[in-house]
Structure 1
Amino acid sequence: MTETTGHLDRGNGTKLAWAHQTGREPTVVFLPGFRSDMTGDKATAVAAFCADRGVSMLRFDYSGHGASSGDFLAGTIGAWTADALAAIDALTTGKLILVGSSMGGWIALLAAIARPDRAAALVGIAAAPDFTQRLMWEAMTASERATLQRDGVLHVPSQYGDPTPITQALIQDGANHLLLIGRIPIRCPIRLLHGQADPDVPWDFALRIAEQAETGDVRVTLVKDGDHRLSRPADLALLRQTVAALLEQDSP
């Protein structure tokens, strides 16, 4: 199956890089995490899986990420969700299986809420809704909060490379998109994969999502020795199995 690539003009000076495979629906859409992109292990593993099975698949980079244009520091949860919806609306038709990793899990949930008639199922991989509040703002010291408010950005150490820039706009906008504060109005099947050795996003996030989602069809799979990325061969096999089961469930 042939994969086509291109850039989607957002009309605001930003162009989103995308890769799309045509095939049978529902279309699998991969939503990357914070500072990640569509070339990561999980995104490419899902793309290869879909290609092997003739399934339509879309992956893309948010503004300020990967091959897309835009300033990462100008990005927010609201802006990246709008990117996701623009890509979905312009490049896909019909039903969707939304697969989101970390922050992409939050954006997948927001996209399912925004497009309830199109969301056939959702897969969260170490899904991190509300992380700007629970894992960033609430974890900051008084000194760090003062620096953020004074400078508009705070750089915190990261085990994955360069320090992570956290902007005041990211924190403030994130507060407008919190989901773990009440019922989550999603009625499609949800599958949540989370490592119990995840040092970044506690695995109780998966349990909170499962408890608060309105759908009765939620399954949580905990990987006892799994880290945040869940990109080892066994983890990727689990992801493929999860998506395969949802595709079979959706088949006539």
Structure 2
Amino acid sequence: MTAQERKVSFTGSTGDELSALLDLPAGPVRAYAVFAHCFTCSKDVFAAARISRALADLGIGVLRFDFTGLGTSGGDFANTNFSSNVADLLCAVDFMRQTFEAPAILIGHSLGGAAILAAASKVSEAKAVATIGAPSDAAHVTRSFQADLSHIQQNGEAEVTLAGRQFSIRKQFLDDLEGQNLKEGIGIMRKALLIFHAPRDEIVGIENAQEIFNAAKHPKSFVSLDDADHLLTRRSDANYVANVLSAWAGRYIAEVQPAEEQSETQAVTVTETGQGRFQQRVTAGSHRLLADEPV
């Protein structure tokens, strides 16, 4: 049996529809997670897709979504900033809370990791947080367009090239970054933390992992990704992260009981999800299903 991928959507922080994918295990769900992708990437970037699918194969359902103005989500990227990304994350959490179950695990890659760290203290149900190549300061992202900073400051906006694509960055984006205090948020989040970072990461230096680790309270762990690149473009690196993350998170999430140990009298519940006119959420023991009418 293989994991299944389901297209879903929800309303983001600016009122636009955000596109998402939910990677679900073929069998019982041990827990749910939300995955935040890297800066100007999308839910379909290799690392996000590979890690989410690998976690689903290990029994963890993962929601990955496009932030406002990116991928196939609605909205204008130029109107977004780090604060709106954090707000989008909380919208994703709320969608899971209302439709399936609140995420017990929060995962973020690069700037998505910084957003996860900023949002974690606001997600009471989350027990474990994992970052991959995350900066310790949200303003670190400006190094990606350092040559354009003065133009943005003087003219209020500039077209910058990131990973071969053009993006409009406005001064409000820079102003918002200046107001962030990520380390303070790390210190109060009260979650188990796992930090993945490659010592030779050329985009976000290894010193960022040390700063995050020092700012966090226990329990906290660090895993070196050896010679992996920042985007985890090698399949083996992405799979390694998924396997280690799943094993580590198992300490903080409930194990699924074998079928023979589950109560034979356990009730089946059916409730409306609010997504469309006919969609229903079916809960039978540890199994969670969606039922809907075809188009």
Q: TM-score, normalised by structure 1?
A: 0.86
Residue pair 2:198, 2:226 contacting (<8 A) in 1 also: yes
The structure with the larger Rg is 2
Q: Does 1:130 align with 2:147?
A: no
What corresponds to 1:236 in structure 2?
238
Cα distance in 2 for residues equivalent to 1:34 and 1:122? 19
Instruction: State the shift of 1:182 in Å.
Output: 8.0
Q: Which residue of 2 aligns with 1:185?
A: 188
Describe the shift of the 1:163–1:95 C-alpha distance in structure 2 as closer, same or farther (beyond 3 A): closer
Alpha-carbon distance in 2 for matches of 1:147, 1:191: 38
Cα distance in 1 for residues equivalent to 2:9 and 2:80: 18
Aligned match of 1:109: 117
Q: RMSD value over aligned CA atoms?
A: 2.5
Partner of 1:169: 172
Other-structure match for 2:87: 82
Identity of aligned residues (%): 25
Letter aligned with residue 201 of structure 1 = V
Count, aligned residues: 246
Contact 1:25 1:95 in 2 (8 A): no
* Deviation, structure 1 residue 130: 2.1
2:127 maps to 120
Contact 1:29 1:58 in 2 (8 A): yes
- Structure 1: tracts of 5 or more residues without a match: none
**1:184 alignment partner AA:** G
Q: Does 1:71 align with 2:81?
A: no
Q: Paired residue for 1:27?
A: 32
Identify if the C-alpha distance between structure 1 residues 139 and 48 changes in structure 2 by more than 3 Å, giving closer, same or farther: closer
On the 8 A contact 2:35/2:106 being kept in 1, the answer is: yes
Shift of 1:151: 1.7
Please report how far the alpha carbon of residue 166 of structure 1 lies from its aligned counterpart in structure 2 after TM superposition: 3.5
**What TM-score results when the alignment is normalised by the length of structure 2?**
0.75
1-structure distance, mates of 2:109, 2:45 = 10
Q: Distance in 1 between matches of 2:55 and 2:243?
A: 12
Corresponding residue for residue 157 of structure 2: 153
Partner of 1:38: 43
